[in-house]
Amino acid sequence: MTRPLMPKATAVWLIDNTALTFEQIAEFTGIHMLEIQAMADGDVSGSIVGFDPILNGQLTKEEIERCEKDAKASLTLVESDAAKIMRKAGAKYTPMSRRGDKPDAIMWLVKNHPELSDAQICKLIGTTKPSVVAIREKTHKNIASIRPRNPVTLGLCTEANLEKAVVLAYKKNPEAIKASEYESASLA
């Protein structure tokens, strides 16, 4: 089950503005019932501002009223098409510890998949076009310390996304792949 945004703030609002049981709020927010009870007592939520799930479109007033009448009923999160699209389209966050691995991944892609366009590499790794161009042209400021490493093993993209990008690149320009295979065969 998906959880609401800002579960603690949502729990504070539900405690203050509804007659729902602690069990119902705990089940909906994914927070332990004892923590919900501590929030109601004021022990935990002193600085947390309540977040209205009705205004945000996560719950409806009718859903809350239905669950207030039946203590055994469970709240269900409203899933909108806009929320699904927003979740998929969000920028991919790369932890600080992995950001230094991006040039290595770019170098690996440039070396092993020359058919990929700069835009495809940017989307796949989550980097900028100037970085890709600098590595492709070997003018990057740290070019001497860059080691080609697979972006899948680095955790910067999935194998499925990489394969999808390679297939798309092949469909756009099948001659580029044949030329790169010929070059790698002549080098071996």
Same domain, 173 and 141: yes
The structure tokens listed for 45 are 């939520």
Same domain, 139 and 63: no
pLDDT tens for each residue of 29-70: 888 988 888 888 877 767 788 888 888 788 889 999 999 999
Same domain, 85 and 100: no
pLDDT tens for each residue of 87-129: 444 456 667 777 788 999 999 999 998 889 999 999 988 889 9
pLDDT above 70: residue 181: no
Share above pLDDT 70 across residues of the chain, in percent, rounded to a whole number: 82
Number of compact structural domains in the chain: 2
Give 176 or 157, the one with higher predicted confidence: 157
Same domain, 105 and 85: no
Same domain, 109 and 182: yes
Q: Please give the residue range of the domain that contains residue 11.
A: 7-89
Q: Per the domain annotation, does 2 fall within a domain?
A: no
CA distance 117 to 129: 10
CA distance 170 to 173: 5
Same domain, 80 and 104: no
Q: Indicate yes or no: pTM above 0.75.
A: no
Q: Per the domain annotation, does 167 fall within a domain?
A: yes
